[in-house]
Amino acid sequence: MPGAVARGLRVAAALADDTRTVIQLTDREHRREDDEAMMSPPLLRRIATLALAALLALSTAASAAPPSWLSLELTDARTGELFALGDLEGRTVFVQPMATWCSSCRRQMAVLRDVIEGLDPDAYAFVGLSVETALAPSELARYVDSQGFGWTFAVSTPELLRALTATFGFGAANPPATPHFIVRPDGSVGELSTGFRNAEQLVAALSEAAALE
């Protein structure tokens, strides 16, 4: 189970135990009082607070769960091997939706190329995701090879592109805005960012995401 979900469930379980303890103590107290005795308002407020906190913890755990689209299959444009973004769990994954006709994408990826050279490949992974769903993987491979972009590239499936726009909005399918997002090592996904980023900004974003595991 991903770390964020597990942590949320542990918090909820602890709060539930605390709530049960309060109720048990209350029952014992009631047995020493008249059958018609009622719990004191402060005690009722504490039970209500604990119950609400447990619900919030469970809600947080659910929202932190990795999205199902991480398991959608893609084809590595160079090797033809099938993979999914979720297969890279355990590493910090930088994903950039892009297009072969997009000059802004090329400019951003040229900076990303320099950043990648200074990072540990066992800790970080990079995926260029073409939004040109009808593009042949071989065409994408020829393009990125001609530009010297050596990391993983794939053509998005229509299903994945729909899922990304449902999650992030249509900015995820607008390459000139240089959209990108980061999948953390625990499988949780950060927000979509747009706009050109220099090397220092990219390294800072990747380091922050890695630290949030």
pLDDT in single tens digits along all 213 residues of the chain? 445 545 554 544 554 555 555 445 445 555 555 554 455 566 556 655 655 554 444 444 444 578 999 999 999 999 999 999 999 989 999 999 999 999 999 999 999 999 999 999 999 999 999 999 999 999 999 999 999 999 999 999 999 999 999 999 999 999 999 999 999 999 999 999 999 999 999 999 999 999 875
Distance between CA 78 and CA 86 in Å, rounded? 19
Question: pTM (2 decimals)?
Answer: 0.71
Cα torsion at 132, 117, 196, 191 (round to 10°)?
Answer: 70
Architecture of domain 68-211: 3-Layer(aba) Sandwich (3.40)
Tokens of 171: 């900015």
Locate the domains of the chain by residue range: 3-64, 68-211
Which residue in this structure is represented by tokens 């959209």?
179
Please name every residue paired with 130 in a beta bridge, in sequence order, or none if there are none: 98, 155
pLDDT in tens, 150-187: 999 999 999 999 999 999 999 999 999 999 999 999 99
Side-chain-facing half-sphere of 77: CA atoms under 13 Å: 27
In Å, the largest CA–CA distance within the chain is 85
